[in-house]
Amino acid sequence: MSVDLSQFIPTFLEESYEGLALMESSLLNLEQGDDETINSIFRAAHSIKGGAGTFGFGHVTDFTHLVETLLDEMRDGRREIRSEEVEVLLESVDCMRLMIDAIQNETDYDNSSIDVTSEKLELLLSGSLSDDTGADTPVETSKNASSWQIIFIPEHHLVQTGNDPLLLFNALEDLGELKVNAIVDSLPSLTEMDVEELYLQWELQLFSDSVTEQDIREVFEWVEDECELEVTPVSFDEPETESTSLDETSETAEVKQPNDETPSPEVTAPNIEPEITPSPAGAPVTENKEVKVATKAKPEGGSIRVGVDKVDSLINLVGELVITQSMLSELGNDFDLSKVDKLTAGLEQLLQNTKELQESVMRIRMLPISFAFNRFPRLIHDLAKKTGKDIELIINGENTELDKTVMEQIGDPLVHLVRNAVDHGIETAEKRLAAGKPEKGTVWLDAYHQGGNIVIEIKDDGGGINRDAVFNKALEKGLIEPTTNLTDNQVFELILEPGFSTAKEVSDISGRGVGMDVVKKNIQALGGRIQVDSTPGEGSTFKVNLPLTLAILDGQLVRVGEEVFVVPLITIVESLQAKSENINRVSGDMILYRLRDENVPVIPIFQLFNLPADSQDVDDSLLVVVEADGQKVGLMVDDLLAQQQVVIKSLKDNYQDVSGVSGATILGDGSVAMILDIPGIIQMALDIANKKQKEKQLKMQNEGALI
């Protein structure tokens, strides 16, 4: 077959990643175990093996074959499902991922871990109860027969799908000497014959020393769903090989049409619905799995999968837009003043269409948060093993939707928080029992929408945060003064400060003193917040508040001179008219505004950005008090305009980053407005103040020297 296969490799890779994710999540559920789950794991492994075979990734095929054999024994009930097997299978999933990664990046991978795992697999297989399957592993991949009998019974419509048996036989002939016998038993009488159907069946004999069963099956790869195929070695009297081949036929058929095969135990549950398990963790986790099956895509990939319903609604909206457009253009062809009403109505409809279209398009970027959550069952599984703690993970709200860009960046901070909950939060079993708690610790992951934000809660039922320990540690590190008066929550949030770690021992899971501050930084970089709450003895909650999307921002438009700027609404504390009695000028140009019991530095935007402004005097000007990194400043502006959602556009695409500005947006009249970067502005103002200070000192020194 002379099809260029390389163009399908990306698809194979994507499907393999999906398959691996499915295998992983199913394996974690398998601990409760049932036939359907094993079947879905087996199918995933089988498709990866098949795909890898087609594209000639022999190492993947060989390895996956071992996995498949083990899974086959499990689903046939020949092997008990124990945690030992599940561990090795999970390890195998990691190995397969490693190999697929290597194919994708066209790099080499570390062979040793794969060798170790395949040894483990072989060890398990050789210790299997039924010896014949143990032996069949090498048979299919390496042992050769000198002659093969192939019975090929194509379905009638085979030629209509573009497949030609003659080509298949030609390909077989390349493998060795071929004898072809056509069976004409099912040939109908001439009057009943349909010229487009295929009624022939074949019995073939292939003579060759070097051909494996796999080579033969590869030839039939493209038609295996549309035929019955039996491949049997003739010279070797090995019934078990035959049994494998029957197995394979049955399992391919089973995927497509479970009812036309001999009854085997797995066919009893043909539906792919997730099972409902008695464990409380079961329901949400399996639901999660279903989502993954439907939508999991390669995380780094440049493509996203979009639900058909979303695309449908887009098409509908575009249809409506076209209708509105044709209505308007018809109106324009023959327009007089009497039709103004119609025009207004048409324009209103256009506005409506555009708005809906915009919303719809934005929704395409939204993905269920299960994309970020689906790594946690495995993580918890591994962490529980590592720490020797018994831990259950309960996930809720994994269908909550979140912008793809936010999703990509929130994964790592979440992993850190979950690790932290397991390592520091959940106590050891003895301690838990002593405290009268169930031995099994629980970690909850919740996601839900609140206003325009998404909230992610990471909760554990561990020992909670020791307020005094945190307070003392912060004292020791010089983060606070002994006299500082802090609420409990403020104390807990100290653990998010740089260089803070209360773990008495540094473990390899967390507690290196870096991390929590990075988590906080990452979340803030996304425009989000993190809050800590804790009750001693009952557990801790980390609440992460994130904007739904990075592409749209709620902004307050302000005017300075001729220019309009956008201040992110989330940073604004309040806006006020400056009263002269509250204005203090200290050390030269620094202006402080007394806001109740706080002194807030005033930053005149016109001065900072070097722009002409209406008023250069702080008295009676408008101040927008904003807060970033815990620092409040008053931005002096000429006018407050509307509040609106703005679409963020990068300046970097065609220009470069501009300090004090985080991006630009296009306003309703088509003009461009800059979006202010509040932390950047505060930094700029600080730098300038420092510079002035230095210059002043220098000047004073010079003057002193003169005197």
Partner 1 sequence: MEQEYLTFILSGEEFGVDILCVQEIRVLTTVTELPNKPDYLKGVINLRGVIIPIVDLRQRFGKDPLDYNDKTVTIILRSQNSVKPMVVGIIVDAVSEVYKFETANIRQPPALGNQIDSCFLKGIAAVEEKLIILLDTNTLLDQDELFSLEAENEEAELIG
Query: Given the rule CB under 8 A, which residues bind partner 1?
Result: 562-563, 607-611, 649-651, 653-656, 658-661, 664, 666, 670-674, 688, 691-692, 695
**Residue 469 to residue 492: CA distance in whole angstroms:** 10
228 contacts 153 by C-beta, under 8 angstroms:
yes
DSSP-derived secondary structure for 237-274:
--HHHHHHHHHHHHHHHHHH-GGGS---GGGG----PP
Q: Encode 203-239: b = buried (16+ Cβ within 10 Å), e = exposed.
A: ebebbbeebbbbbbbbbbebbbebbebebbbeebebe
User: What's the min distance (Å) between Cβ of 610 and partner 1?
Assistant: 6
**Residue 125 to residue 122: CA distance in whole angstroms:** 5
Complex with partner 1: residue 345 or 672, whichever CB lies closer: 672
Complex with partner 1: residue 380 or 664, whichever CB lies closer: 664
User: What's the min distance (Å) between Cβ of 323 and partner 1?
Assistant: 23
DSSP-derived secondary structure for 322-358:
HHHHHHHHHHHHT--GGGHHHHHHHHHHHHHHHHHHH
User: What's the min distance (Å) between Cβ of 673 and partner 1?
Assistant: 7
User: What's the min distance (Å) between Cβ of 662 and partner 1?
Assistant: 12
**Residue 165 to residue 655: CA distance in whole angstroms:** 60
Residue 92 makes CB contacts below 8 A (sequence gap 6+) with 63, 66, 67, 117, 121
The residues facing 542 across adjacent strands are 458, 532
Complex with partner 1: residue 453 or 607, whichever CB lies closer: 607
User: What's the min distance (Å) between Cβ of 664 and partner 1?
Assistant: 5
User: What's the min distance (Å) between Cβ of 366 and partner 1?
Assistant: 21
User: What's the min distance (Å) between Cβ of 658 and partner 1?
Assistant: 5
Complex with partner 1: residue 231 or 567, whichever CB lies closer: 567
**Residue 287 to residue 398: CA distance in whole angstroms:** 9
The residue behind tokens 């088509």 is 670
**Residue 633 to residue 629: CA distance in whole angstroms:** 11
C-alpha to C-alpha distances, 659 to 149, 662, 675, 684, nearest whole angstrom: 75, 8, 11, 8
User: What's the min distance (Å) between Cβ of 608 and partner 1?
Assistant: 7
168 contacts 206 by C-beta, under 8 angstroms:
no
Hey, how many other C-beta atoms are within 10 angstroms of the C-beta on 31? 14
User: What's the min distance (Å) between Cβ of 8 and partner 1?
Assistant: 24
Q: Encode 383-422: b = buried (16+ Cβ within 10 Å), e = exposed.
A: bbeebebebbbbbbbbebbbbbebbebbeebbebbbbbbb
Complex with partner 1: residue 486 or 551, whichever CB lies closer: 551
Complex with partner 1: residue 480 or 566, whichever CB lies closer: 566
381 contacts 28 by C-beta, under 8 angstroms:
yes
On the CB side of 44, CA atoms within 13 Å amount to 27
Complex with partner 1: residue 445 or 608, whichever CB lies closer: 608
Q: In what order do the strands lie in the sheet with 572-577?
A: 572-577, 622-628, 631-637, 598-604, 590-595, 583-586
Complex with partner 1: residue 11 or 650, whichever CB lies closer: 650
User: What's the min distance (Å) between Cβ of 364 and partner 1?
Assistant: 17
If we measure between CA atoms, which residue out of 53, 239, 50, 18 comes closest to residue 139?
239
The residues facing 635 across adjacent strands are 603, 624
Complex with partner 1: residue 180 or 667, whichever CB lies closer: 667
User: What's the min distance (Å) between Cβ of 591 and partner 1?
Assistant: 15
User: What's the min distance (Å) between Cβ of 406 and partner 1?
Assistant: 22
**Residue 232 to residue 241: CA distance in whole angstroms:** 8
Complex with partner 1: residue 267 or 362, whichever CB lies closer: 362
Complex with partner 1: residue 125 or 681, whichever CB lies closer: 681
Residue 301 one-letter amino acid: G
Complex with partner 1: residue 159 or 661, whichever CB lies closer: 661
Complex with partner 1: residue 490 or 616, whichever CB lies closer: 616
Complex with partner 1: residue 59 or 649, whichever CB lies closer: 649
Q: Is 341 exposed, middle or buried (0-12, 13-18, 19+ CB in 10 A)?
A: exposed
On the CB side of 106, CA atoms within 13 Å amount to 2
Complex with partner 1: residue 72 or 563, whichever CB lies closer: 563
User: What's the min distance (Å) between Cβ of 668 and partner 1?
Assistant: 11
User: What's the min distance (Å) between Cβ of 609 and partner 1?
Assistant: 3
Residue 9 makes CB contacts below 8 A (sequence gap 6+) with 55, 103
Complex with partner 1: residue 271 or 654, whichever CB lies closer: 654
User: What's the min distance (Å) between Cβ of 564 and partner 1?
Assistant: 8
Q: Encode 674-685: b = buried (16+ Cβ within 10 Å), e = exposed.
A: bbbbbbbbbbbb
Q: In what order do the strands lie in the sheet with 391-396?
A: 391-396, 441-450, 453-460, 539-547, 529-535
Q: Running DSSP on this structure, what letter comes out for residue 649?
A: B
Which ranges in 160-224 belong to alpha helices (H)? 165-175, 213-219
- Token pair, residue 585, equals 């000028």
User: What's the min distance (Å) between Cβ of 672 and partner 1?
Assistant: 4
